[in-house]
Amino acid sequence: MFRIVISFLFLLATQSFALDLSKMSAAERALLQEEIRLYLLENPEIIMEAIEVLRKKEQQAAIQSDFELVKKHEKAIFEDGFSFIGGNPNGDITLVEFVDYRCGYCKKAHNEVEKLLSTDGNIRFVIKEFPILGDDSLVLSKFALAVKIVHGDEMYKLVHDILIKMKSPPSEKAFDEIISNLNLDAKLVESAMESNEVNGMITYTRTLADRLEISGTPTFVMNDELIRGYVPFDALINIVDKEFKVEKELLLALMGIETNYGTYLGKMDIISSLATLSYDKRRSEFFSNELITILKLIDQNKVDKDILFGSWAGAFGNFQFMPTTISNYAIDYNNNSIIELKEAEDSFASAANYLNKIGWRKNEPCFFNIELNENIPRKLLNTSAKKIKHKRKFKYYKKYIKEFENLNVGDNVKVAVITPDSDIVKDNNKLKPAYLVFPNYDRVLKWNRSLRFAIAVCTLKNKFEDEL
């Protein structure tokens, strides 16, 4: 069979061969399809290789798309006529930052940016006020821009540096203190904050960000390259791993599969999506409850309504949380009074908290790939993700598993067997591929009830464990 497939692929590769499926008989097509199916079932690693190739293609496509977006809007990005320009105004390299003063990672990135500017005198640095994390963010940006209008660029930079380091929400007392310390004109600044000029600047930048498909901060533009977000994974993910007892490799696997590491979060208005789906009779109660939940979260100022864009089903953020999941498990990990699931701190901590709460067991396996003996009763094979049945002690399944002695499993550990392809391949009586699944596999299913989703997550987790 292997030779048949290889021969077929060789023929496809030769210039003299042209395959016309329309000229094949039904029997020939069926034979070809069966040979390919059997080959893939016997060599499932090919599918993973294909997924990796697809991932790389998607990454390249995203890079190319970002490049084209920057080229299309380069004048608005680099020469809008009002954004602060620092560093070396005549530098050969231009670095643009879209910033929100309430963004935890904008605060962390600030020192690194300043260090970069001080060590490289050839960088032209542009700051774009991009308040997306609620009313507090908006007030702070208005204050900074008002200072720029009234007192100029030098004073703006001083205020910018103060605001980015501010830990508490903005208040009249805090503004009065800044005004007093810097000897600013309070009346003129206050007046400028509500001016059409300031509102126009913010609207302009928000429109530009939308056209660049920027949904989070900080986002940088370095010449013709878009750099979406400041995510110091190493430090953050190790902290989360230790605190919540959830492996960092699992978190990386979930984020990768859900949103390609935050590069595709969805563009649908979540409130509109949930309102529409609430009228779907099939799951009206479910989506109505999700809609009510997200409205309550907005009313409680736990999430920012202005950035609620995600999947068509109402899922949101780096890990695609539904509103009830946000309500029950999401964490304001950086303590800035709002849950920011498009930011690394809150999203990683929230995902880890969820997994911890549903019983994830650190350092225990999800599954083992196994070969089954023909004598296994077919009723013991789980082919559906709705519920994993027939959970028995491992010692019960030994007689049905080839080379079971090579598996590092205790006799009394509860396990089950799944053959995930049986529900998609008609009349499939094959015992390959087969997996011995553990309690952790069930917990991944609670995230997404799909046998293949859980296999993909656990496979990627294992791959990260081998490489990190």
pLDDT in tens, 47-96: 666 666 666 676 676 667 778 888 899 899 999 999 999 999 988 888 89
Q: Which residue has the higher pLDDT, 225 or 285?
A: 285
**pLDDT on residue 428:** 53
Residue 421 tokens read as: 């392809």
The percent of residues in the chain predicted with pLDDT above 70, rounded, is 85
**pLDDT on residue 343:** 83
pLDDT digits (tens, 9 = 90+) for 157-193: 999 999 998 877 888 889 999 999 999 999 999 999 9
**pLDDT on residue 58:** 63
**Most confident residue range from 1-10, 31-40, 337-346, 451-460:** 451-460
Q: Is the pLDDT of residue 395 over 90?
A: yes
In a domain, 214, yes or no: yes
pLDDT digits (tens, 9 = 90+) for 312-354: 999 999 999 999 999 999 988 876 778 989 888 889 999 999 9
In a domain, 166, yes or no: yes
| 248 shares its domain with 328 | yes
CB atoms closer than 10 angstroms to residue 272: 13
**pLDDT on residue 7:** 44
| 101 shares its domain with 142 | yes
| 79 shares its domain with 200 | yes
Question: What is the CATH number for 145?
Answer: 3.40.30.10
Under 8 Å between Cβ of 422 and 381: yes
**pLDDT on residue 10:** 43
Q: Which residue has the higher pLDDT, 424 or 401?
A: 401
Give the span between the Cα atoms of 199 and 140, in whole angstroms. 13
| 98 shares its domain with 178 | yes
Range of the domain at 32: 2-42
Q: Is the dihedral of CA 197, 199, 200, 201 positive or negative?
A: positive
Domain boundary among 322, 357, 392: 357
Least confident of 38-52, 236-250, 303-317: 38-52
The total number of structural domains that make up the chain: 4
**pLDDT on residue 188:** 96
| 322 shares its domain with 378 | no
**Most confident residue range from 320-324, 368-372, 384-388:** 320-324
In a domain, 24, yes or no: yes
Residue 266 tokens read as: 């969805």
Domain boundary among 205, 228, 251: 228
In a domain, 329, yes or no: yes
**pLDDT on residue 53:** 66
Residue 201: φ, ψ to 5°: -60, -45
Q: Which residue has the higher pLDDT, 232 or 255?
A: 255
In a domain, 196, yes or no: yes
Residue 382: φ, ψ to 5°: -90, 120
| 316 shares its domain with 334 | yes
**pLDDT on residue 239:** 67
Q: What is the mean pLDDT of residues 378-390?
A: 89
**pLDDT on residue 17:** 47
Give the C-alpha distances (Å, rounded to integers) separating 130 from 78, 126, 147, 316: 15, 12, 16, 20
| 266 shares its domain with 143 | no
**pLDDT on residue 11:** 43
Q: Is the pLDDT of residue 44 over 80?
A: no
Q: Is the pLDDT of residue 110 over 60?
A: yes
| 79 shares its domain with 202 | yes
Q: Which residue has the higher pLDDT, 35 or 261?
A: 261
**pLDDT on residue 330:** 94
Give the span between the Cα atoms of 243 and 227, in whole angstroms. 29
pLDDT digits (tens, 9 = 90+) for 15-24: 444 556 667 7
In a domain, 51, yes or no: no
Average pLDDT of the chain, as a whole number: 85
Q: What is the mean pLDDT of residues 299-303?
A: 90
Q: Is the pLDDT of residue 276 over 80?
A: yes
| 341 shares its domain with 399 | no
Nearest of 393, 399, 396, 397 to residue 412 by alpha carbon? 393
| 347 shares its domain with 372 | no
CB atoms closer than 10 angstroms to residue 458: 21
Give the span between the Cα atoms of 14 and 101, in whole angstroms. 59
In a domain, 447, yes or no: no
**pLDDT on residue 282:** 86
Q: Is the pLDDT of residue 236 over 70?
A: no
pLDDT digits (tens, 9 = 90+) for 413-443: 999 999 887 655 555 557 788 999 999 999 9
pLDDT band at 202 (very low <50, low <70, confident <90, very high): very high
Cis peptide before 433 (omega within 30 of 0): yes
**pLDDT on residue 62:** 67
pLDDT digits (tens, 9 = 90+) for 129-151: 999 888 888 999 999 999 999 99
| 202 shares its domain with 237 | no
Under 8 Å between Cβ of 175 and 162: no
The percent of residues in the chain predicted with pLDDT above 90, rounded, is 49
| 96 shares its domain with 223 | yes
Least confident of 150-159, 238-247, 277-286: 238-247
Which stretches within 73-120 are classed as H helix?
Answer: 74-78, 104-119
Domain boundary among 228, 260, 293: 228
In a domain, 467, yes or no: no
